[in-house]
Structures are given as C-alpha cells and as structure tokens.
C-alpha cells in the first residue's frame, strides 16, 4: 500500500519535480506570457539548440532570473534583449538583426529564389524561341503518306509496329 | 562548357562552405566584449573576504582574468598552464572564483598550487554574466588601460599562451 501511495505521489508531482527549481512570481498573466515569449526568443549558450525558456542548464536559470528581475524593474523587452546581446553577442538571438554582416543570411534565400526564377524564365523563353526541327523532303512525304494511309496501316498499330 | 561547368562551379562553392562549417566549433561564441572596457564589478576577495576588488584594480598592468571553480573538471587541466604563466611573470594572473564554496576553493589552491595574484569571488554568478561567461574555465586578457583584448573559452594550453597571449602582450605596453 505505501508503494501505491508513492507511485501516486510521483505521478502527480513528477512533472513538478522535473520543472525548474526557480519558479518566478508574476503579478499578472500578461507579464508571465511576456516572460515566456521573451525567453523563447533567446538562445541558451550552454545547450545551444534550446531557448532560455526550455533549457535546464544552470546558466539558463541564472539568465531567466536576470530577465525576470529586469522585467520587474520595468525594463522594456528591447532593453532586456540589448542587455544580453551586449554580453553574449547576437548569438543569443534566434532572429539576428539585419546588418551588413547578416545581409547574406537574410537576403540570400530571396536572392536565390529570384536567381532561380530568372534562370527558369530565360530557359523557358529560349525553348519557345527555337523553331521546330527541319524535316527533309522525303521524310515529310513519308510522314504525310503514313498519316493519310488510314487506320488499316497506322492508327491501330501497336507500339512495335514497323514502318 | 557553361552547361556543365556552371552547375559544377556552384556545387563546388556550396561544398566549400559546407566543409568549412564542419571544421568550426559551434560552442565557441565570439564575445562582443573584446575591444571594450572590462565590465564594472565590486566583489570580495577569496583569501581576505573583508577586502573588495573592482574593475579599477585591473588598470595599470596587463591582467589575465581567469574564471574558475573547484568543481570544474576542465579547470584542473589548465591549472599547470596557469602556474607556469604566473612563474613567467609576463602578465598578472587574477582569478574569478565562479559559483564555488570558499573552503573548496582554498583547499584546491593549497593542494594544486596558487597561480593567482588575487582572486575575486562571484558566489552567485551575477558578475560572470556581465563578463559574458557561459562555460568555465574562461580567460580574458585585459590590457593596462582596462580594455579586454582577448577571450578564450575552455582550458588554456601553453601553445595558446605562446601563440595568442604573448604576441598580444608585446603589443600592449606596461608590463607587471
């Protein structure tokens, strides 16, 4: 029976145990949503493929605490992001700003798309412009004869039909 | 020529960048602090907790600020290098004890040797955030004017000291 009680306890409180030990207090649901949105946009430096919101790294916890403290101090999202970028660089941003260094990153796909469109357009136009192949006079006569010879000779023919 | 050459060329360029990407370490994040003044801090010293240090103490002589902790395994790897660097007397070595227990830190130094001229204590890791620290050990070279000149993430090696630190020290005036 005590085993069962333990099992029930773990089932009920398991998710709570797995969660971050630092639970933040928010004055209203709006600021909690703001905190979640902000930390989702910021990248953890330790486990680099996780956001600050998801990461269990100790540093991520510390940085969440900083973000929370700055929110409480009335800082705007932009100021909080700037605080982290000044220390850790653009790396913390999942969406780096558009500047000369990142121009290729932001404009590259559009450029490639336009280039592919241009190449495709030129290729299609070229194909349209080429005249149908020349047919020699005797070949032409044979083709016409075949076309006029009617169903007994061509139209019902199987693909292996010999000319 | 254009029909086969051009796709081949484009393929070659893509291959070049993809292979280039493989040989780079994604864990190394370039610090925006290099070239900027060392961040402000006001922290107690490890050996004498009643005295405090600030960024003003960095000005005057080039300093290597080494972020370490007694729980940090990679710090042990670089400890020999730090001891040798301290003996070389080309740069002042300052420790930043990160999220550590005082007793453990002091025990570590008495057992493995103490390369630090002084050690400041960042118990909650708040100051390390200002330095953009994300993985101990980290080392910063701060010049005599208090400007960060170089940052290394991970254990220092003697090769790094000779190839990176010493050339930078030559450029920076004011030896200890």
Q: How many CB atoms lie within 10 A of CB A8?
A: 10
Q: What is the ipTM of this complex?
A: 0.83
Judge: B134–A86 Cβ closer than 8 Å, yes or no. no
Q: Per-block average pLDDT, block size 10, for chain B (176 residues)? A: 84 92 83 94 96 94 96 95 95 96 96 96 95 94 95 95 93 60
- Residue A158 predicted with pLDDT over 90: no
Helix (H) or strand (E) holding B2: helix B2-22
In this prediction, residue B24 carries a pLDDT of 83
The H-assigned helical ranges of A1-160 are 2-18, 29-40, 58-72, 77-88, 103-129, 137-148
Chain length of chain A? 163
| pLDDT tens digits for range A84-132 | 999 999 999 998 888 888 898 899 999 999 999 999 999 998 887 777 7
- Residue A39 predicted with pLDDT over 90: yes
Q: How would CATH label the architecture of A2-92?
A: Orthogonal Bundle (1.10)
Span A50-62, mean pLDDT? 92
Distance from CA of A160 to the nearest CA of B (A): 35
Any A CB within 8 A of B28 CB = no
Of A45, A66, A89, the CB nearest to B32: A89
Average pLDDT, chain A: 83
Helix (H) or strand (E) holding B79: helix B73-88
Contacts of A137 (CB under 8 A, 6+ apart): none
Any A CB within 8 A of B29 CB = yes
Domains in chain B, please, with CATH?
Answer: 32-171 (3.40.30.10)
Q: How many CB atoms lie within 10 A of CB B126?
A: 15
In this prediction, residue A17 carries a pLDDT of 47
For chains A and B, CB pairs below 8 A equal 38
- Residue A19 predicted with pLDDT over 60: no
pLDDT grade for A1, boundaries at 50, 70 and 90: low
In this prediction, residue A127 carries a pLDDT of 82
In this prediction, residue A132 carries a pLDDT of 74
- Residue A14 predicted with pLDDT over 80: no
Distance from CA of A36 to the nearest CA of B (A): 21
Partner residues linked to B119 by β-bridges: B95
Task: List, by residue range, all CATH 1.10.8.640 domains of chain A.
Answer: 2-92
In this prediction, residue A128 carries a pLDDT of 78
Q: What's B58's DSSP letter?
A: G
């Amino acid at each position: 029976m005590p085993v069962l009680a333990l099992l029930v306890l773990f089932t009920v409180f398991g998710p709570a145990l797995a969660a971050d030990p630092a639970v933040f207090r928010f004055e209203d649901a709006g600021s909690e949503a703001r905190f979640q949105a902000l930390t989702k946009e910021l990248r953890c430096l330790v486990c680099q493929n996780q956001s600050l919101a998801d990461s269990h790294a100790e540093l991520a916890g510390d940085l969440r605490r900083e973000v929370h403290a700055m929110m409480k101090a009335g800082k705007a999202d932009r100021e909080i992001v700037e605080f982290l970028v000044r220390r850790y660089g653009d790396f913390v941003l999942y969406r780096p700003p558009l500047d000369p260094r990142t121009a290729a990153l932001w404009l590259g796909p559009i450029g490639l798309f336009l280039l592919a469109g241009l190449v495709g357009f030129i290729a299609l136009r070229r194909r349209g412009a080429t005249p149908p192949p020349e047919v020699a006079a005797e070949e032409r006569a044979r083709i016409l004869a075949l076309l006029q010879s009617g169903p007994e000779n061509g139209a019902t023919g199987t693909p292996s039909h010999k000319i | 020529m254009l029909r086969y050459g051009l796709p081949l060329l484009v393929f070659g360029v893509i291959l070049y960048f993809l292979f280039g990407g493989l040989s780079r370490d994604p864990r190394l994040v370039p610090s925006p602090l290099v070239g900027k003044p060392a961040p402000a801090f006001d922290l107690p010293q490890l050996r004498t907790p009643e005295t405090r240090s600030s960024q003003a103490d960095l000005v005057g002589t080039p300093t290597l600020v080494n972020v370490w902790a007694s729980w940090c395994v990679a710090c042990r790897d670089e400890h020999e290098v730090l001891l040798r660097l301290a003996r070389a007397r080309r740069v002042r070595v300052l420790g930043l004890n990160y999220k550590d227990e005082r007793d453990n830190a002091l025990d570590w130094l008495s057992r493995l040797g103490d390369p630090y001229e002084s050690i400041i204590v960042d118990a909650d890791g708040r100051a390390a955030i200002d330095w953009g620290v994300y993985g101990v050990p980290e080392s910063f070279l701060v010049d005599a004017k208090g400007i960060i000149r170089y940052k290394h993430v991970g254990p220092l090696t003697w090769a790094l000291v000779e190839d990176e630190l010493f050339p930078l020290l030559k450029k920076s005036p004011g030896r200890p």
